[in-house]
């Protein structure tokens, strides 16, 4: 069956519905949903029962890039700076040095066991060098896996920030395959340019996006996520036009936004969470449609050898070497190396050689596809088991809090204070987002004219508003009064 304008919506919606329904009970059997999405796409393809013919790497690459924008941006918005800050150095080491060492180690191994040239081997190694954000985010959060200390933020930070490094290496080694006379040192300027411009651009666009979101006054709350999507794509495309790394830029931009006070933040977070899941499903279905299983079969043996070397040798060595400067128990290093899931990102990057038309592009694509499937199948299904075996997981009765419970969990000794805004208060007429309100305190409700309001960043304070403030420490109350520019009241004087 050929995909046409008339049937693409029907076919797409049916595949989406099947993916959601089938994915619901998948974790009962320990099967990652992303693997099911890929399988459904393959079954719907030209060599499956669906008979849908799809052989367009360019469209698949476009869908992949758009999907990765949403997945990385959503992951960045959910990244809490207090959790990431203690593991920032480890995360950066893994997402840079770890990716580079994985690419070099695996590439050299492929060169030894195949007839690939050195640059072709390094290209394959670069394509599968990063852990997949979609796979890691969905599996860790889907399994609701509770890990000790800072393991979880380390894994999520690495997976969210290492795709840019893998992208740069892929483009660099692809250029060397096409022009081998250039020499390996010629890729250094490209690498530095991409990473430096990407990082600076991400921070600048993050600050600009915060200013635009908070200053623009839209009539409908639902338009704020749409505005954020526009800013996300502008950040990505503008950074690319400046020869920077767009993936790095949108991740840094989203991490910055996720840790700032912005209007309708909860609405934006919920919208992007749903869009990220949609993009994951669409991406894996598309990549499943793109592959021809009959072309993978001849490379199963080679793919399995490469996959096992990546899982058992290249990835662990890269992790251990990258983390040498840091104090960390051996079993935690082992677990980080095990959660090196490959997924959709390597398959998307494998479309670049296809579009470039290099000799071994089809072989590389089929091997990468098999490596991604085997990684999700082997590692994705054993994450909880390995966590228990290495004793890095919390007991089963310890549940990960929902977003609405996180504040109370982090601040068990919650302090409540009622603050009435009098006529001469400087905060009158200002929006909450512009108050420089302390991050470790929240305005839970506002009592106004004998009615209770649920405030958000755009709520404007009025005379005689009674703010119901929650925090965990008395000293934070002083910061609250300071942000409101009123003198602190003595609660003991109230009877």
b vs e for 289-315, b when ≥16 Cβ sit within 10 Å of the residue's Cβ?
A: bbbbeeebeebeebbeebbebbbeebb
pLDDT of residue 233: 96
Asked whether residue 336 falls in the same domain as residue 413, the answer is: no
Query: Token pair of 294, please?
Result: 């009959």
**Is position 379 within any domain?**
yes
**Is position 199 within any domain?**
no
pLDDT of residue 407: 47
**Is position 303 within any domain?**
yes
- Residue 280's alpha-carbon distances to 37, 139, 327, 360, 394, in angstroms, are 9, 12, 35, 28, 28
Full DSSP string of 171-206: HHHHHHHH-GGG-GGGGHHHHHHHHHHHHHHHHHHH
pLDDT of residue 229: 95
Asked whether residue 376 falls in the same domain as residue 461, the answer is: no
Closest by Cα among 378, 471, 454, 369 to 418: 471
Query: Domain boundary residue among 354, 389, 424?
Result: 389
Asked whether residue 382 falls in the same domain as residue 481, the answer is: no
Task: Put residue 306 in one of left, alpha, beta given phi > 0 → left and psi -120 to 50 → alpha.
Answer: alpha
In 312-465 the beta strands, taken as DSSP E runs, fall at 415-420, 441-448, 451-453
Full DSSP string of 39-83: HHHHHHBTTSSS-BB---HHHHHHHHHHHHHHHHHHHHHT--HHH
What is the rounded distance in angstroms from the CA atom of residue 204 to the CA atom of residue 148?
Answer: 34
Asked whether residue 305 falls in the same domain as residue 161, the answer is: yes
Closest by Cα among 137, 181, 393 to 273: 137
> Which domain does 480 fall in, by range?
403-493
Task: Put residue 485 in one of left, alpha, beta given phi > 0 → left and psi -120 to 50 → alpha.
Answer: left
Asked whether residue 308 falls in the same domain as residue 426, the answer is: no
**Is position 396 within any domain?**
no
**Is position 229 within any domain?**
no
Asked whether residue 313 falls in the same domain as residue 429, the answer is: no
What is the rounded distance in angstroms from the CA atom of residue 59 to the CA atom of residue 433?
Answer: 41
What is the rounded distance in angstroms from the CA atom of residue 275 to the CA atom of residue 150?
Answer: 27
Asked whether residue 22 falls in the same domain as residue 83, the answer is: yes
Q: For residue 463, what is the domain's CATH number?
A: 3.30.70.1450
Query: Domain boundary residue among 389, 420, 443?
Result: 389
Q: What H or E segment, with its residue span, contains residue 305?
A: helix 300-309
Asked whether residue 268 falls in the same domain as residue 134, the answer is: yes
Closest by Cα among 487, 474, 435, 473 to 456: 435
Query: Domain boundary residue among 389, 423, 447?
Result: 389
Closest by Cα among 57, 18, 55, 60 to 39: 18
**Is position 182 within any domain?**
no
Asked whether residue 37 falls in the same domain as residue 122, the answer is: yes
pLDDT of residue 419: 87
pLDDT tens-digit profile, the chain (495 residues)? 555 656 667 777 787 787 777 666 555 544 566 677 778 888 887 777 877 788 888 888 899 899 989 988 988 888 878 778 888 899 899 999 999 999 999 999 999 999 999 999 999 999 999 887 766 766 666 555 667 667 888 887 888 788 888 988 999 899 999 888 777 677 778 778 888 999 999 999 999 999 999 988 888 888 999 999 999 999 999 999 998 989 889 999 999 998 888 888 888 988 998 888 888 888 888 888 888 888 888 999 999 999 999 999 999 999 999 999 998 889 889 999 998 888 778 888 999 999 998 989 999 999 999 998 888 888 877 887 888 898 887 655 554 444 434 444 444 456 778 888 888 888 888 888 888 888 778 888 888 887 878 787 888 889 889 888 888 777 788 888 888 888 776 555 444
pLDDT of residue 323: 93
Angle between helices 223-241 and 57-77 (to 10 degrees): 120
**Is position 219 within any domain?**
no
Length of the chain: 495
Angle between helices 163-178 and 118-127 (to 10 degrees): 160
- Give the total number of structural domains in the chain: 2
Asked whether residue 56 falls in the same domain as residue 138, the answer is: yes
Asked whether residue 66 falls in the same domain as residue 122, the answer is: yes
State the maximum Cα–Cα separation within the chain, in Å, rounded to a whole number: 85
What is the rounded distance in angstroms from the CA atom of residue 287 to the CA atom of residue 59?
Answer: 10
**Is position 312 within any domain?**
yes
Handedness of CA 168, 169, 174, 179 (dihedral sign): positive
pLDDT of residue 282: 85
Asked whether residue 385 falls in the same domain as residue 416, the answer is: no
Order of strands across the sheet with 415-420? 415-420, 466-471, 441-448, 451-453
């Amino acid at each position: 069956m050929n995909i046409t304008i008339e049937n693409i919506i029907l076919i797409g919606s049916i595949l989406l519905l099947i993916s959601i329904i089938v994915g619901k009970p998948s974790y009962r059997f320990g099967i990652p949903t992303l693997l099911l999405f890929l399988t459904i796409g393959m079954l719907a393809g030209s060599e499956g029962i669906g008979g849908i013919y799809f052989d367009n790497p360019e469209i698949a690459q476009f869908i992949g890039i758009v999907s990765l924008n949403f997945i990385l941006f959503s992951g960045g918005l959910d990244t809490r700076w207090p959790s990431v800050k203690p593991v920032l150095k480890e995360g950066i080491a893994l997402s840079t040095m770890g990716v580079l060492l994985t690419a070099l180690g695996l590439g050299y191994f492929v060169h030894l066991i195949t007839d690939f040239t050195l640059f072709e081997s390094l290209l394959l190694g670069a394509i599968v060098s990063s852990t997949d954000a979609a796979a890691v985010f969905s599996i860790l959060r889907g399994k609701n896996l509770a890990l000790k200390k800072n393991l979880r933020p380390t894994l999520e930070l690495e997976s969210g920030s290492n795709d840019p490094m893998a992208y740069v290496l892929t483009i660099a080694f692809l250029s060397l395959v096409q022009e081998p006379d250039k020499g390996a040192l010629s890729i250094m300027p490209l690498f530095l340019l991409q990473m430096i411009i990407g990082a600076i651009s991400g921070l600048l666009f993050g600050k600009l996006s915060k200013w635009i979101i908070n200053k623009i006054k839209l009539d409908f709350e639902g338009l704020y996520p749409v505005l954020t999507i526009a800013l996300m794509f502008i950040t990505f495309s503008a950074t690319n036009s400046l020869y920077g790394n767009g993936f790095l830029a949108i991740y840094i931009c989203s991490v910055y936004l996720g840790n700032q006070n912005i209007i309708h933040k909860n609405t934006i977070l919920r919208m992007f969470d749903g869009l990220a899941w949609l993009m994951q499903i669409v991406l894996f279905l598309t990549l499943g449609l793109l592959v021809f299983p009959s072309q993978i079969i001849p490379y199963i043996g080679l793919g399995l050898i490469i996959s096992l070397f990546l899982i058992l040798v290249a990835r662990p060595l890269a992790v251990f070497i990258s983390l040498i400067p840091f104090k960390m128990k051996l079993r935690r290093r082992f677990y980080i190396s095990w959660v090196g899931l490959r997924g959709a990102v390597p398959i998307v990057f494998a479309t670049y050689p296809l579009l470039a038309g290099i000799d071994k592009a089809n072989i590389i694509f089929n091997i990468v596809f098999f490596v991604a499937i085997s990684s999700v199948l082997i590692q994705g299904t054993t994450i909880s088991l390995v966590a228990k075996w290495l004793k890095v997981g919390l007991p089963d009765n310890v549940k990960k809090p929902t977003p609405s419970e996180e504040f109370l969990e982090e601040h068990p000794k919650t302090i409540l204070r009622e603050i009435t805004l009098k006529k001469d208060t400087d905060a009158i007429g200002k929006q909450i987002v512009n108050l420089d309100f302390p991050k470790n305190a929240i305005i839970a409700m506002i009592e106004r004219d004998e009615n209770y309001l649920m405030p958000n960043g755009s709520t404007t304070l009025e005379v005689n508003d009674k703010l119901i403030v929650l925090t965990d420490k008395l000293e934070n109350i002083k910061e609250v009064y300071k942000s409101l520019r009123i003198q602190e009241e003595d609660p003991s004087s109230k009877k």
